[in-house]
Structure 1
Amino acid sequence: MFKHAHFKAHTALFLQATGLTGGPGAAPLFSGLDLQIPTGLTAVTGDEGTGKTSLLRLLSGDLSAHSGTRPATDALWLNLALPEHDEATPEQVWSALQQQCPRWSTELQQDVTEALSLQVHLGKKLFMLSTGSRRKVGLVALLASGATLTCLDQPYVSLDQGSIQVVRGFLNDMADHPTRAWLVADYEADPDLDWSSCITLG
């Protein structure tokens, strides 16, 4: 099952994918998918195993499609849980990504780092951090990246309530952005966010 809700009135079309077919395995998880992503916030919802992460990876270009078209855009999806990041410090992660993200905001990086109480962890390698702190490092990168399409995969997992409020507040500030889009994957759409659109997988 696939459902795509209508845009709210003040949003514009940001990205259109046609006949998108692909997934992480040999057999495509998605076949002939047509999507219209508006500016602002789009929820990608569904149960475990329905393909939320795979869809974000396909739309960001992190996962190559077998067929179909996804217009080129400045997109970012990030998974810092992978072992390849274990030996890097938060600042090394951000510095490497900054080279890939021409709209990166150092000021926003510093503001979100402070808001998420990450300053005390900046000299530590990622393997030394708790799951929550490691996820915060990824969130700083995604929020500061300036990417025109930013993909957030279950952004609230392992976060304390104060940090959830920081992320929620930032996203609501971005909800009416005229030239950027945010895909937020989770089991359900956060009722406290001002969504432009919702994609339901199942």
Structure 2
Amino acid sequence: MAVENLVLQVDGLRFSYPECAVLDGLSLAWPAGLVLVRGDECSGKTTLLRLLAGELTAQAGHISLQGVRQSEAPTDYAQKVFWADPRSGNVDQLTARGWLGSLPARYPLWDAAALAAHTEGFTLQEHLDKPFYALSTGSKRKVLMAGALASGAPLTLIDEPVGGLDKPSATYLGHALAQVADQPGRVVVVAHYEALLGVPWGTVMELKA
């Protein structure tokens, strides 16, 4: 499949849990821009993100990011991906400031000015010195998304972005996504059950349960 400005390519991806098949022969070719993966509960949205992140291993198929195949060069591939599962407790003992401060060393295209803008836009200043376990669901998601958007990672994965967000933060998220829509060589994939209004999605993928 030929796509101009191709960043991410998936061929014949198959993944099943012991109790059910989730993805069967999925192929896609995404250029730089914003991608919405839309679907109901149990449609495979989070599973797809975890596969793209390398957190799950597919039973068949290949994933390539900027020409780097995940299965052949997993370390190189992983360095190009931002994924922070909002349901995970892996960072619970870290402060928001400490976690955000660890990211520039991992992401060569880190944008400190963007982080400052997202910190203000999501009104995170008062939460930066709190550990993640002390944050509300919405505040935790906002910290993770601020890091994701500032990372500059060629593949940036964001799952269910508005869970627990207040209306002003959800509005800011739309503006922030629009700002990264035209970044060259970068795909920002958002998994959600519906489109966020005002966001210039370049690609929309529908998953069926």
**TM-score of the aligned structures, taking structure 1 as reference length:** 0.87
2-side partners of 1:58 and 1:69: how far apart?
Answer: 10
| Higher mean C-alpha displacement, 192-201 vs 54-63 | 54-63
Taking CA–CA contacts closer than 8 Å with sequence separation of 6 or more, which of the two structures ends up with the larger relative contact order?
A: 1
Task: Please tell me whether residue 103 in structure 1 is matched to residue 96 in structure 2.
Answer: no
Match of 2:35 in 1: 42
Aligned-pair CA distance for 1:26:
7.8
Which SS does the other structure have where 1:29 is aligned? strand
The offset of 1:31, in angstroms, is 2.2
| Distance across 2 between alignment mates of 1:178 and 1:198 | 19
Partner of 1:114: 120
Q: 1:151 Cα deviation (Å)?
A: 1.0
CA contact (8 A) 1:23 1:63 kept: no
2:25 corresponds to:
32
1:1-202 to 2 correspondences below 5 Å: 12-22=5-15, 28-71=21-64, 72=68, 73=77, 74-202=80-208
Q: How many residues are matched?
A: 193
Identity percentage of aligned residues = 37
C-alpha change, 1:169 and 1:156, in structure 2 (3 Å) is same
1:101-133 Cα deviation digits (max 9, x unpaired): 121122221221122111111111111111111
Displacement of 1:25 after TM fit? 5.2
Q: Letter of the aligned partner of 1:151 in structure 2?
A: L
Q: Call closer, same or farther: CA 1:171–1:25 in 2, change over 3 Å.
A: farther
Deviation at 1:175, TM superposition (A): 2.1
Query: What CA distance in whole angstroms lies between the structure 1 residues aligned with 2:18 and 2:110?
Result: 32
Q: What code does the residue aligned with 2:29 have?
A: Q
Structure 2 unaligned blocks of 5 or more: 69-76
1:68 aligned counterpart, secondary structure: strand
| AA in 2 matched with 1:36 | A
Does the aligned pair in 1 maintain the 2:137–2:163 contact within 8 Å?
no
How far apart in 2 are the matches of 1:134 and 1:76?
16
Q: TM-score, normalised by structure 2?
A: 0.84
